[in-house]
Structure formats: C-alpha cells, structure tokens
C-alpha cells in the first residue's frame, strides 16, 4: 500500500528525492530488488547521498551485478563507513586480505558507534577481519601439508628416473592384484600385455527396483562383467601404460542404455619394483596423483 502511494506521489513530483529514497527502501525490504535498484539509481544520480550508492550496491549484489556493486561502494567508501566495511568484506571474500584488513581496521578505529549505520559498519568490518583470519589459517594449514602430500609422488618420480636407466627386466608371466581387479601380465622385456575379467554382482536399484515393487516382484540383481586390458611400453624398468576397463551389465533393463558397455580409459606411468614382484603406478586421471601398487600374487 505504501509503495502505491509513493509511486503516485512521484508521478506528481519526480524530484522528491526523499520520497523516492523511502520508496526504494520499501521495495528493498520487500525483496523487490529491481524496483529498489531503479529508485536508488535515480536518487544516487540526483543527490550526494552516500547511503543511496551503498544501498544501490546492495541491490546490485542481490541482482548478481558484482562489478557495479563494487563500483558504487568504492564511489562513497571515503564518505560512508558502512560502504567501506562492505568493500572490506568483498575484499576478504576475494582473497585481498591485506586491503580488507586495512579497510576494516580503519572503520573500527574511526567509528564512534553513535548510529545504527556505524554499529552495522563495525559489525561488518569485524566480520571481514574474522573471514580474513579464517582464510589465512586455512591456507597456512593446507600449505603446510603440501610436502607430506606430494612426498610419495616426488619419491616415485625419482625412483622412476633410476628405473628408466636400468637394464630391461627378464621376461615374465604373472598374476597381479590391482585396485581395479586382477590382471595376468606377460612381459617380453620391452612391453607388458595384460588381461583380466571377473563378474561383479550389484543389487538392483533406481527405477528398476521401484517398478518391481509395484509389480509385486523381487528385484533382480544385476551382474556386471568387468574386463581389463593393459598395455605398457618399457624403457629399462620404467614406462607408460594404458588400462582399458569395460563394464557390461546383465540383464539390461533398457537395452539401449543400461545394456551398453561402460568404458573407462586410464593412462599413467609405472616402474617395476622389488624385482618384478611389485609395479608402482601413478594414474594421470587421479587428481591427487596417489601412488598405487600392483602386487604379484602368483
């Protein structure tokens, strides 16, 4: 109701900036961000009111206009502590912690706390300081873990270099246990060829299970046939490899979808260790680059 009468008032007197600012606040409090932004924009353009720019920036933030939000806040940050605190909060969220700390500290040290806006500015500035401190602590902790987290890969690469310069292995035929399933590997000294296959039973689920319940039937478990094909090229006791994994389920609920084979290709580097009783690998697709081991079992 108030918005309607204020809109009518502005039709009669478009220059009434006080009425327009009040109307923008009404829309702002009601969550009508575009309407609020429209009226704050007009007030900001016809007055020197810092609060109009600050509130316009808040509306722009809600509308997703990040660049304009920062532009409006920066235009009055020297005249309004709340605007400066808001900029400090944005800097803290973006990782500009030194700038955020300087601005937030300035807001706190120069505020008297005599108005609601100043109290809000101080609270927001303290929030920016807390966020910055939390970010710094989190990043310091993560950085401190890097040496331990990368040690296995660094050690592997050093061992890989040694293995690369070593004599080629004697031919062998053996069964290896891998994180993807058992593989029978044949090596001729320059190349390793491997194959493995096994069945894996999986419980029925999803829409198939729902359909069987409504039909009064027991869901049929799915059996997946997993096939592994391995190929590696060696130089010395080191090399590169490709592992193809194919998974096909039976019976297929939907022949055109669930019955189609699912394929996965893995590439990486390897080295033969402890003679040929162990193969250490790092898979390129693994974002953590964790060391994996293929262990000879027969």
Q: How far apart are the first and last CA of the chain?
A: 84
Q: pLDDT grade, residue 112 (50/70/90)?
A: confident
125-181: per-residue pLDDT in tens? 999 999 999 999 999 999 999 999 999 999 999 999 999 999 999 999 999 999 999
Q: Which position has the token pair 């898979």?
A: 283
Q: Are 50 and 76 in contact (CB under 8 A)?
A: yes
Pick from 159, 184, 161: nearest CA to 172: 184
Q: Which position has the token pair 């505020």?
A: 111
Is the peptide bond preceding residue 122 cis, with omega within 30 degrees of 0?
A: no
Average pLDDT over residues 35-52: 96
What is the token pair recorded at 79?
Answer: 């005249």
Judge whether residue 254 has pLDDT over 70: no
What is the token pair recorded at 20?
Answer: 């327009």
Average pLDDT over residues 3-28: 96
Distance from C-alpha of 37 to C-alpha of 42, rounded to nearest angstrom: 9
Q: pLDDT grade, residue 218 (50/70/90)?
A: low
Annotated domain spans of the chain: 2-135, 165-296
b or e along 204-233 (b: 16 or more beta carbons within 10 Å of the residue's beta carbon)? beeeeeeeeeeeeeebeebeeebbbbbebe
In this prediction, residue 115 carries a pLDDT of 87
In this prediction, residue 117 carries a pLDDT of 86
48-96: per-residue pLDDT in tens? 999 999 999 999 999 999 999 999 999 999 999 999 999 999 999 999 9
Judge whether residue 221 has pLDDT over 80: no
What is the token pair recorded at 164?
Answer: 């690369």
* More confidently predicted of 95 and 217: 95
266-295: per-residue pLDDT in tens? 999 999 999 899 999 999 999 989 999 999
Distance from C-alpha of 66 to C-alpha of 87, rounded to nearest angstrom: 12
Where on the phi/psi map is residue 271: left (φ > 0), alpha (ψ -120 to 50), or beta?
beta
Q: Enumerate residues 6+ apart whose C-beta is below 8 A from 228.
A: 178, 180, 181, 183, 194, 195, 196, 197, 243, 244, 245
Q: pLDDT grade, residue 296 (50/70/90)?
A: very high
231-253: per-residue pLDDT in tens? 999 999 999 999 999 998 766 54
Task: Look at residue 259 and give its three-state secondary structure.
Answer: coil
CATH fold of the domain at 2-135: 1.25.40
Q: pLDDT grade, residue 220 (50/70/90)?
A: low
Judge whether residue 190 has pLDDT over 90: yes
Q: Enumerate residues 6+ apart whose C-beta is below 8 A from 99.
A: 88, 91
User: What are the Cα distances from residue 297, in Å, to 3, 13, 228?
Assistant: 79, 90, 17
Where on the phi/psi map is residue 50: left (φ > 0), alpha (ψ -120 to 50), or beta?
alpha
Beta strands in the chain (DSSP E): 172-178, 181-187, 191-202, 222-235, 238-250, 262-273, 278-283, 292-296
């Amino acid at each position: 109701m108030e918005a309607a009468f204020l809109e009518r008032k502005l039709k009669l007197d478009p220059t009434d900036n006080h009425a327009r600012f009040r109307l923008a606040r009404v829309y702002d409090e009601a969550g009508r961000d575009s309407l609020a932004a429209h009226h704050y924009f007009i007030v900001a353009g016809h007055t020197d009111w810092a609060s109009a720019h600050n509130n316009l920036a808040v509306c722009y933030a809600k509308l997703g206009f990040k660049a304009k939000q920062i532009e409006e806040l920066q235009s009055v940050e020297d005249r309004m502590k709340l605007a400066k605190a808001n900029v400090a909060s944005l800097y803290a969220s973006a990782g500009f912690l030194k700038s955020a700390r300087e601005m937030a500290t300035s807001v706190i040290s120069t505020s008297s706390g005599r108005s609601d806006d100043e109290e809000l500015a101080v609270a927001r500035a303290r929030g920016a300081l807390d966020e910055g401190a939390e970010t710094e602590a989190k990043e310091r902790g993560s950085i401190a873990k890097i040496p331990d987290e990368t040690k296995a890969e660094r050690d592997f690469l050093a061992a890989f270099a040694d293995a690369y310069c070593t004599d080629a292995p004697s031919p062998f035929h053996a069964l290896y246990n891998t994180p993807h399933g058992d593989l029978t590997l044949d090596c001729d000294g320059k190349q390793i060829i491997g194959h493995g296959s096994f069945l894996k039973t999986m419980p029925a689920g999803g829409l198939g299970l729902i359909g069987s319940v409504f039909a009064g039937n027991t869901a049929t478990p799915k059996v997946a046939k997993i096939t592994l094909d391995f190929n590696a090229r060696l130089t010395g006791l080191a090399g590169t490899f490709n592992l193809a994994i194919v998974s096909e389920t039976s019976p297929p609920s939907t022949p055109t979808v669930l019955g189609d084979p699912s394929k996965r290709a893995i590439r990486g580097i390897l080295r033969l260790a402890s003679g040929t009783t162990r193969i250490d690998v790092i898979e390129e697709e693994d974002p953590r680059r964790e060391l994996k081991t293929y262990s000879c079992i027969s």
